[in-house]
């Protein structure tokens, strides 16, 4: 005999919880898989942005050197 009062769980409550637990776990696994996929896509996007930023910075440095040389060659 399981009664809810006094901290003892009633039989039908245990059965309902036992039936819901696998459904909850599956739902959590689905959500976690979606989160993992989103994190991987975000990582790939941020890595590509980082590579582009490095390339743009390198181009900018090269252009700055060229401008400095042109200014030095012009003289007063």
Does this model's pTM top 0.75? My answer is no
The predicted structure's pLDDT at residue 45: 98
List, for the chain, all residue ranges whose pLDDT scores fall below the cut of 50.
1-3
User: With b meaning 16 or more CB within 10 Å and e meaning fewer, what string describes 44-65?
Assistant: eeeeeeeeeeeeeeeeeeeeee
How high is the pLDDT of residue 7? 56
């Amino acid at each position: 005999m399981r009664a809810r009062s006094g901290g003892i769980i009633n039989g039908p409550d245990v059965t309902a919880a036992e039936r819901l637990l696998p459904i909850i776990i599956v739902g959590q696994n689905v959500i976690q898989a979606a989160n993992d996929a989103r994190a991987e896509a975000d990582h790939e996007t941020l890595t590509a942005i980082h590579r582009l930023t490095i390339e743009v910075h390198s181009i900018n440095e090269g252009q700055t050197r060229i401008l400095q040389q042109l200014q030095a060659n012009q003289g007063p």
